[in-house]
Amino acid sequence: MQHIADWNDQQFDYRDSGTGPVVLLIHGTQSDYREVYHVERLIEAGYRVIVPSRPGYGKTPLQLAASPVELAAFYQGWMASRHITQYTVYGISAGGPTALALASNNPAVRSLVLACAMTHQISLPYQAWLIQPLLQRPLQLIQQLLWHYVKDKLVKFPQEASVRMVEMTSLLQREDIRLQLNGADEKLLYQVGLQNGPGRGVLFDLTQQIERQTLRDITCPVLIVHSKADRAVPFEHALYARRAIPHAQFIESKSPGHLIWIGPSARHDERMIERFIGLNHLKADT
């Protein structure tokens, strides 16, 4: 269910579902408060999941924050205003830098999960061109056309379209990907494809930076889950975070691409994340 928050002279939308220990989930690129990955399973496992739309996504204005550190400070204040004094931060993909900043020097954060997450500035071909203000409108149109194409193919050819979706963010060959997907994966990707879409937040994602010291200042328990087959956010991001946060635990996902919630190890990875969150909330209560 969508909620509209009006706090600190800013409006943004978010989801707040479930009961139990709180998980603040920071979604990735081309998503919003309706994030699909792991949310329903976390709720079923007994967690309260809060998912705010990041700047440029959903109904959240791009101007809400200019950097991950600024956005993290905003979320920290918002959570405090709601009298939520303990929570886990769960950062996905491009939500990683904000999740890292939120967990750094923040006693309210009981644990941090980084799932296929960016941990430093990403480098893309033609990145300098992609962030030019004059190109934003044409790029928005291209994104809309691309997502319209993806959704059309998912309806007509769901199995093949699922393989192609994974292929876009994978280092594996198409046939290898095909062998690793099952009916549940296709159903999830179908849901993602029909629900996700373009947003101006891509501009925020391409320009965000996070200082290494921010990672070093994280003292709460950390779990990193990443696949070596990830093309969108290379495995090196996970290694970078492990070096900067020596106490972090690490799981190498067997996902065939960027998305750890599909493939042969998907449910195992989700259960490990749920267990990690649960154990650290129990420790906080003792």
Give the containing element (helix H, strand E) for 6: strand 2-7
By the 8 A CB rule, do 216 and 245 touch? Answer: yes
Q: What is the pLDDT of residue 30?
A: 85
CB-CB neighbours of 46 under 10 Å: 13
Q: Has residue 147 got a pLDDT over 70?
A: no
Q: What is the pLDDT of residue 134?
A: 62
DSSP one-letter string for 130-176: HT-GGGHHHHHHHHHHHHHHHHHHHHH-HHHHHHHHHHTTBSS-HHH
Q: Has residue 31 got a pLDDT over 70?
A: yes
Q: What is the pLDDT of residue 202?
A: 82
Q: Which domains does the chain have, with CATH numbers?
A: 2-285 (3.40.50.1820)
The token duo for 196 is: 């996700």
Angle between helices 136-156 and 158-167 (to 10 degrees): 140
Give the containing element (helix H, strand E) for 22: strand 22-26
Residue with the bigger pLDDT between 138 and 230: it is 230
Q: Which of 36, 24, 32 is nearest to 56 (CA)?
A: 32
Q: What is the pLDDT of residue 132?
A: 63
Distance CA 264, CA 98 (A): 29
pLDDT band at 153 (very low <50, low <70, confident <90, very high): confident
Residue with the bigger pLDDT between 198 and 188: it is 188
Distance CA 184, CA 158 (A): 12
pLDDT band at 130 (very low <50, low <70, confident <90, very high): low
Q: What is the pLDDT of residue 43?
A: 98
By the 8 A CB rule, do 96 and 237 touch? Answer: yes
Distance CA 15, CA 37 (A): 14
The one-character DSSP state at 239 is: H
Q: If you average pLDDT over every residue of the chain, what do you get?
A: 91
Query: What proportions of the chain, in percent to the nearest 5, are helix, strand and coil?
Result: 45, 15, 35
Residue with the bigger pLDDT between 138 and 125: it is 138
The one-character DSSP state at 255 is: -
Above pLDDT 70, what percent of the chain? 90
| Mean pLDDT computed over 137-149 | 70
